[in-house]
């Protein structure tokens, strides 16, 4: 499915409100980037309340910049729906990793569990401290910290995601009285009792997650929500070390402090709990976490990597061509196609592209013989310059080379002098042949003028492609 600059592919996650798809951002000259795109379930897409929640999520998440938070990149309205575009992070949720470990008869190693949750707490602190454009505190409360909302990447970094039900100042959507938000087993007593929530509510939820990751067991369990509700309010919580002897005493204390039923007795800030864990336990390095993730999620990660590789193949180039709306951008289209063109055609196309980007800054901005036009790409795509900064030149492009390399200028001291009016058949100081020299010597001026009237051809899609001999 095509939405604006993006294409949607396979579903990689699904929840009660939305699905998350693999997607691809498409740009000019074959540029592409894999992203994750959140889409409301069809039966909710027409409900104003849920559309507003997605909008709020984008506004809140975009204000939080931290390595332990999945970045929000864009929000797109298309075909009557809203789509939230996020950075794609290869990895698995903590819930999936814990499940895979249990299937193998293992628990998450203590140093890895502590490192993951210390990172999550650092991300939570960044969310709690987020401010709006006027530097006013947003007072964000995530309200849904759980293993399902913690993504552990193949780079060994844990990231918090899904601010869909986060509480924050300035949200357009407000929760109706008596409406519970979040997963019951990870809710703090004040959240279950419909009392005011704040950052310490998230610290409680993170402490539940840490207890479960360390022990490999559910902390508050029951046959139904009512039973879990009662367990949260009444159960005496044992220290993790009573289940797993390797858990350090300092981590026990941090977990139990975070699980205090009275908010005032918990850590005041998430970073304080992160510091207590970091000082009290040996932490796994990111490379060790990455290796463990690769081992626990070997099958799922391999399947996902194959899908990602598939959507990044040359088919995206053809789609990118549709993004170019100006007819004079046929040269740019040709550059995007160069990797699939025959060798002789590729060579001619690269010469044309190099000629366009090698015009000196001495004021020459027109291509000769009626093909002169500026090359524009419709917003919001990046413009392709038709001039080069004074003192620089575009390097000669080789067939099969990266098109982006064409626009990379060399330092001024290494630049070649560029003649403003090269003579046909002559070669520049760098040994590059003027494209005009490739016109057959036997072709008369009159014949060439006739052949170049008009100087372009029009393909089946209505795009203009300028003739190489007419430039």
- Residue 354 parent element (H or E): helix 343-357
Q: Give the number of other CB atoms < 10 A from CB of residue 429.
A: 11
Could you tell me which of 232, 219, 43, 61 has the C-alpha nearest to residue 130? 61
Q: Is the dihedral of CA 294, 297, 303, 308 positive or negative?
A: negative
The full DSSP string for 78-135 is: ETTEEEEEEE---EEEHHHHHHHHHHTT----HHHHHHHHHHHHHHHHHHHT-B-TTS
As a residue count, the chain comes to: 471
Helix (H, G, I), strand (E, B) or coil at 59: helix
Alpha helices by DSSP H, listed for 259-329, are 270-280, 286-296, 298-311, 315-321
- CB-based contact 150:159 (threshold 8 Å): yes
Q: What sign for the dihedral angle of Cα 185, 188, 193, 197?
A: negative
Residue 125 backbone dihedrals phi, psi, to 5 degrees: -65, -40
**Bond prior to 454 in cis (omega within 30° of 0):** yes
Q: Where are the alpha helices (DSSP H) in 139-269?
A: 189-192, 199-215, 225-234, 249-258
Give dist(CA 141, CA 264) in Å, integer. Answer: 16
Q: Let me know if 144 is a catalytic residue.
A: yes
Cβ pair 26, 7 in contact under 8 A: yes
Helices then strands (H, E): number in the chain? 14, 11
Active-site entry in 4, 74, 125, 144 = 144
Catalytic residues: 144
């Amino acid at each position: 499915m095509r939405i604006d600059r993006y294409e949607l592919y396979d579903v990689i996650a699904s929840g009660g409100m939305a699905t998350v798809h693999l997607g691809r951002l498409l740009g000019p000259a074959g540029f592409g980037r894999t992203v994750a795109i959140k889409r409301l379930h069809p039966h909710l897409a027409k409900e104003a309340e849920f559309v507003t929640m997605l909008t709020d999520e984008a506004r809140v998440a975009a204000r939080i910049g931290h390595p332990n938070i999945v970045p929000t990149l864009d929000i797109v309205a298309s075909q009557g729906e809203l789509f939230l575009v996020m950075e794609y992070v290869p990895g698995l949720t903590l819930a999936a990793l814990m499940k895979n470990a249990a299937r193998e008869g293992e628990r998450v190693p203590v140093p890895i569990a502590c490192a993951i949750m210390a990172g999550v707490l650092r991300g939570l602190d960044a969310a709690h401290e987020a401010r709006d454009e006027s530097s006013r505190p947003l007072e964000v409360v995530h309200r849904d910290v759980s293993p399902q909302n913690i993504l552990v990447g193949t780079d060994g970094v844990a990231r918090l995601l899904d601010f869909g039900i986060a509480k924050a100042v300035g949200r357009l959507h407000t929760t109706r009285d008596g409406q519970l938000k979040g997963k019951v087993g990870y809710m703090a007593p004040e959240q279950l009792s419909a009392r005011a929530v704040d950052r310490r509510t998230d610290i409680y939820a993170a402490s539940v997650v840490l207890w479960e990751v360390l022990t490999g067991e559910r902390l508050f369990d029951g046959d139904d929500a009512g039973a879990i509700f009662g367990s949260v309010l009444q159960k005496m919580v044992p220290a993790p070390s009573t289940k797993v002897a390797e858990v350090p005493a300092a981590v026990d204390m941090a977990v139990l402090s975070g699980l205090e039923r009275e908010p005032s007795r918990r850590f005041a800030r998430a970073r304080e709990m992160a510091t207590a864990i970091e000082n009290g336990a040996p932490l796994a390095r990111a490379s060790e976490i990455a290796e463990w993730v690769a081992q626990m999620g070997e099958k799922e990660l391999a399947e996902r990597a194959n899908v990602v590789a598939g959507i990044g193949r040359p088919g995206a180039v053809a789609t990118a061509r549709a993004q170019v709306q100006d007819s004079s951008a046929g040269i740019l289209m040709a550059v995007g196609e160069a990797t699939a063109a025959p060798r002789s055609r590729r060579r001619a196309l690269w010469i044309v592209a190099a000629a366009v980007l090698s015009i000196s800054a001495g004021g020459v901005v027109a291509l000769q013989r009626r093909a002169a036009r500026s090359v524009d790409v419709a917003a919001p795509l990046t413009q392709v310059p038709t001039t080069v900064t004074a003192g620089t030149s575009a390097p000669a492009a080789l067939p099969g080379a990266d098109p982006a390399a064409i626009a990379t200028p060399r330092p001024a001291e290494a630049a070649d002098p560029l003649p403003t009016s090269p003579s046909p058949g002559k070669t520049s100081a760098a040994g590059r042949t003027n494209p005009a020299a490739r016109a057959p010597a036997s072709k008369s001026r009159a014949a060439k003028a006739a052949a170049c009237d008009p100087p372009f051809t029009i393909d089946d899609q209505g795009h203009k492609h300028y003739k190489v001999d007419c430039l």
